[in-house]
Each structure stands twice: as C-alpha cells, then as structure tokens.
Amino acid sequence: MNFKKSVLILLLPLFAFTAVHKFYVSVTNVSYSEKEDALQITTRIFIDDMEKALKERYDVNLYMATKKELAEVDRYVEKYLKSKFLVFLDDEQKQFTFIGKKYDNDIIVCYIEVPKVNFKNIKNIAIVNEVLTDVFEEQQNVVHFKLNNQKKSFVLSRANNKGMLNLD
C-alpha cells in the first residue's frame, strides 16, 4: 500500500467525526421613512434555507438565484413571509407590502413596507418573526429597530418570537 493511501485511511475516521456547524440566522432591519410615512423593512435570509422552507411548506422547487428560477418565486416568498412575519403597531396587526427581492451572493434580501403608519402617534412597534423556525430548530432571527433616534436589537427564536420597541 502506498503512503498516500495509508495517510488517507488513518485520517478518514477523524473527518467522519468532524461536523460542519451551520448557523441558521436571518437579519431584519426596521426603519421609518418620514417622506413615505412608512415603515421600511429589509430582511436577509440564506437562499438555501428559504428554498428548503418553501419546498417543505408548498412542495415546490424554485431554483432561486439560478438560470432555472421559476417565475413564481416572488409569489411564494411573499406568501411565506406573510404567514411568518407579522408587524404590530400599538398592538394592532398591520398588513405589509412585499416590494420585492434581490440576491446578494448566498442571501435573499426581501424588501417590505408598511404604508401610512402615522408614526407620530405610535407608542410601540412589535415584530413577530417566525421565518424558518418551522424548518430549523436552531433558527435565530435578529431584528434591528432604528426608529426615533432609538436603536434596539432582538434575537428571536422559536421559543421567543416577538420583539417590541416602545417609542414613548
């Protein structure tokens, strides 16, 4: 047996016990546009994780960020986000508009807007973010609020899925 094969046989068991740890995380930024009187939200999610969630939930292969991407991608992403991402202003759920998405390397960046929020009268904003928590138990969704000269961040999970910012 040659030397290379011997080394490979000796090292192979070591590789078998080395697990590649993958992080399951999304990052969401929430800000207010005075010009638009709207909450503007961007959320960044790993493409492969989003594809897995959409496959499990809707039984569809979308081939995101490839030449084979299906035309219905935006519709499925919007449908999923509307079921897993909720916005509350003063404890009242508000509907948002899915503006669109773009790809940034292995990330899908989704653009969301809550129009006509009458921001001056809002006392608190809450985000419920369950994106991917139904697929990945370890999923963490980081939410950054940047509103009214206040900055606050939350790390949300399956067990703790809501972050609230008081504006008083």
Q: What is the pLDDT along the chain (168 residues), one digit of tens a residue?
A: 555 555 445 455 544 444 444 778 999 999 999 999 999 999 999 999 999 999 999 999 999 999 999 999 999 999 999 999 999 999 999 999 999 999 999 999 999 999 999 888 999 999 999 999 999 999 999 999 998 788 899 999 999 999 988 887
Q: Is the pTM value of this prediction over 0.95?
A: no
Quote the tokens at residue 13: 């068991």
| Partner residues linked to 156 by β-bridges | 141
Rounded Cα gap, residues 155 and 129, in angstroms: 10
pLDDT attached to residue 13: 52
Phi, psi of 40 (to 5 degrees): -115, 125
Angle between helices 73-84 and 47-58 (to 10 degrees): 80
Q: Which residue has the tokens 């509350």?
A: 88
In the chain, what are the domain boundaries? 19-166
**Amino acid identity of 106?**
D
